[in-house]
Amino acid sequence: MKKLIIFSGSGISAESGISTFRDSGGLWEQYRIEDVATPRAWKNNPAMVQEFYNLRRKQIMECEPNNAHILIAQLESNYEVTVITQNIDDLHERAGSTNVLHLHGNIRQSKSSGPNKEKAYYPIDGWELQMTDLCPDGYVLRPHVVWFEEEVPMYEVAMQQIAEADILIVIGTSLQVYPAAGLINYAINAETRYLIDPNAEELNVPSSFRVIAKNAVEGMTELLQELG
Q: Which is the catalytic residue, given 69, 92, 104, 144? A: 104
Under the criterion CB under 6 A, does residue 213 sit at the interface with ligand APR?
A: no
Q: Mark the segment that binds ligand APR (CB under 6 A) among 5-13, 40-48, 72-80, 110-118.
A: 5-13
Q: Return the range that interacts with ligand APR (CB under 6 A); candidates 16-24, 43-51, 92-100, 108-116.
A: 16-24
Name which of 24 and 77 has its Cβ closer to ligand APR.
24
The minimum distance between CB 80 and ligand APR, in angstroms, equals 24
Nearest to 124 by CA among 102, 138, 145, 149: 145
Q: How many CB atoms lie within 10 A of CB 5?
A: 27
Pick 137 or 226: Cβ nearer ligand APR: 226
Q: Give the 3-state secondary structure of residue 85.
A: strand
Do the Cβ atoms of 54 and 208 come closer than 8 Å? no
Cα distances from 3 to residues 36, 147, 189, in angstroms, run: 37, 30, 11
CB nearer ligand APR, residue 68 or residue 167:
68
Instruction: For residue 104, indicate whether it is catalytic.
Output: yes
List the one residue from 84, 124, 212, 216 that touches ligand APR (CB under 6 A): 216
- Residues that contact ligand APR, how many (by CB under 6 A): 23
CB 98 → ligand APR: shortest distance, Å? Answer: 22
Which 147-186 positions form the footprint of ligand APR (CB under 6 A)? 172-174, 176-177
Distance CA 64, CA 82 (A): 21
CA angle 152, 188, 178 (to 5 degrees): 25
- Which of 165, 170, 197, 209 is the binder for ligand APR (CB under 6 A)? 197
Does 34 bind ligand APR (CB under 6 A)? Our answer is: no
DSSP state of 126: S
38-77 footprint of ligand APR as x/- string (CB under 6 A): ----------------------------------------
Could you give the count of Cα atoms lying within 13 Å of 143 in the half-sphere of its Cβ?
32
Contact 222, 212 (CB under 8 A): yes
CA distances to 146, 150, 173, 212 from 215, in Å: 26, 30, 11, 9
For ligand APR, give the closer residue by CB, 183 or 187: 183
Q: Looking at the annotation, which residues are catalytic? A: 104
